[in-house]
Chains A and B, each alone.
Chain A
């Protein structure tokens, strides 16, 4: 299944091919002029802000993205984005997109199904090759590909993707109306998912590998008092099973060593996220967490490749921080391009 679905499908395709050339490699065969001033990889808050800042400098950008909004679009209630006391991620993303559409002369958005294959240097800048074989060129790159959900790596996880397994409660919760679900995890994303869907689903079993839920105390209390939520601590999901759709999970109690089957119709995997940098490992410097290391100009270890947002080693991963980082990357990119012939 190659189609693009909700952001959850990013996790369905974790086999991004790494860039097949490092920054010292010889230029690509593409000798023509760069088609765009900047290619922005990723369409979340960082990428969209960068695109707007570049557009206002009359720089033409191509945004290559698998979705609109990135992780922000998966958020249910955003209460800390300046200007909005409370707004859903979907609505905030729509505001971002509407703002970006004002600059349609300068910004080209291309939804890509399978992702980026690699980035190579060229005499005029860089070539970005997509997994479908197409190539685009630009004088500079801004990487804003954000983070993707972490996977459990268990039997049935890939098999039942979109057949009961999901990584986005906010996106897919409505499809489990009146059904039993398991939410795997124990932190804030798990708590958020549970509170988002508790009034939609029949019942929720939180399967948490640690001794207790951790995260926002207010959310933990709400989860504990909810009538249709039960919590299994020190528990590991071993496998997901079913027929056409998910029918259950096998869970091990790590304290007693006993396994049991839970009958569920859905499995929401909320165990965190990882930077979307699989296609960059041989190109730019990454830290231990596989985030792009950037300097205070938002420049990566490769001149002309900038980065912004959650994909970088910026200390805080917030929507408003990503937007700010996107603007910084665009301003620095613009200055860098101005200084070049």
Chain B
């Protein structure tokens, strides 16, 4: 069974200040010229829970790419979404 994706035009990256791979996601999106919101889940517990609810796990970074959730810096998946 597949869950219906939440359609969105937004790109959101959930991060923590110590997260190295979060910086890679940021650099990747900057290089592609993609606008995004970067959320520090340490600073906002409700956003931390939002990230956990969306991704089902607690690792960072989590990217909500217009409704598709990517956990970690997964360049192949990001490439595919950017190209779509």
Contacts and interface: CB of A to CB of B under 8 A. Distances in A.
A69 B20 CA distance: 9
Interface in A186-240: none
A162 B52 CA distance: 10
A126 interface: no
Interface stretch (B2-10, B30-38, B68-76): B68-76
Interface in B8-52: 16-21, 24, 41-42, 45, 48, 52
Nearest to A244: B56
A146 B37 CA distance: 34
Given A88-B18, A170-B18, A244-B56, 9 more contacts: A5-B61, A6-B20, A73-B20, A113-B76, A162-B71, A171-B18, A174-B18, A175-B41, A245-B57
Contacts of B76: 113
22 contacts: A1-B57, A1-B72, A3-B71, A3-B74, A4-B72, A5-B59, A5-B60, A6-B19, A68-B20, A93-B20, A111-B24, A111-B73, A166-B58, A171-B18, A171-B19, A172-B16, A172-B60, A174-B18, A174-B41, A175-B16, A245-B57, A245-B58
A127 interface: no
Given A5-B59, A162-B57, A244-B56, A177 B18 contact: no
**Interface on chain A toward B: helix, strand, loop, or mixed SS?**
loop
A2 interface: yes
A157 interface: no
A168 B77 CA distance: 25
A3 B72 contact: yes
Given A4-B73, A4-B74, A177-B42, A162 B59 contact: yes
The secondary structure that dominates the B interface is loop
Contact of A6 (B17, B21, B77): B21
A90 B20 contact: yes
Interface residues on B, range: 20 to 34
A178 interface: yes
B75 A172 contact: no
Contacts, number: 82
A48 to B, nearest CB: 13
B21 A177 contact: no
Interface in A52-95: 67-69, 73, 88, 90, 93
A4 B21 contact: yes
Given A3-B70, A3-B72, A177-B48, A90 B18 contact: yes
Nearest to A68: B20
A5 B72 contact: yes
A164 interface: yes
Given A68-B20, A174-B18, A6 B59 contact: yes
A76 to B, nearest CB: 9
Contacts of A163: 56-58
A6 B77 CA distance: 17
Contacts of B59: 5-6, 8-9, 162, 172
Contact of A172 (B24, B52, B58, B74): B58
Interface in A154-170: 162-164, 166, 170
Contact of B71 (A1, A93, A174, A178): A1
Contacts of B24: 68, 111
Contacts of A9: 59, 72
A9 B61 CA distance: 12
A73 to B, nearest CB: 5
Contacts of A90: 17-18, 20
A90 B56 CA distance: 26
B16 A67 contact: no
A79 B65 CA distance: 39
A6 B25 CA distance: 12
Nearest to A88: B18
Contacts of B74: 2-4, 113
Contacts of B61: 5
